[in-house]
């Protein structure tokens, strides 16, 4: 009877050892699956960050264009606001060509800014 009990206990120990080996295998498989999942999540986040950076760069390019055109339109506004102040002693007030001079000055200043921004690639 003692031998039967010892044989049964060896049987139980073998089953317990097999169960432990299986559990260890499941643990390793789960670790690998979780590592793979974390890698895929990180890859997805990297792609999203790349897309965000690309759209930010596109927005920056658009802002350059808007700012360049705002600067170009600022020149005639600045010149016309200076001439619209009606000072007593402005050099071109009594001059017959003062109005055409102001218009030419506005166009030339705007063209200069347009050329500068064009060379920088903002327009």
Domain residue spans in the chain?
Answer: 2-120
- Residue 47, φ and ψ in degrees, nearest 5: -65, -40
Dmax over CA atoms of the chain, in Å, equals 133
pLDDT at 55: 93
pLDDT digits (tens, 9 = 90+) for 62-116: 999 999 999 888 888 888 887 777 666 666 667 777 778 888 888 999 999 999 9
What average pLDDT does the segment 4-10 reach? Answer: 83
Asked if the 2-120 domain carries CATH number 3.40.50.970, the reply is no
Q: Is the pTM of this model over 0.85?
A: no
Question: With 70 as the cut, is the pLDDT of residue 35 above it?
Answer: yes
% of the chain with per-residue pLDDT over 90 = 46
Residue 97's pLDDT is 77
């Amino acid at each position: 009877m003692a031998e039967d009990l010892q044989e049964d206990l060896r049987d139980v120990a073998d089953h317990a050892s097999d169960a432990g080996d299986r559990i260890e295998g499941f643990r390793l498989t789960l670790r690998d699956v979780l590592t793979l999942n974390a890698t895929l999540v990180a890859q997805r986040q990297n792609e999203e960050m790349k897309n965000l950076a690309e759209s930010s760069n596109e927005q920056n390019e658009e802002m350059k264009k808007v700012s360049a055109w705002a600067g170009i339109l600022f020149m005639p506004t600045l010149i016309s606001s200076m001439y619209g102040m009606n000072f007593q002693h402005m050099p071109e007030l009594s001059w017959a060509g003062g109005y055409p001079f102001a218009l030419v000055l506005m166009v030339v200043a705007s063209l200069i800014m347009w050329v500068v921004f064009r060379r920088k690639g903002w327009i």
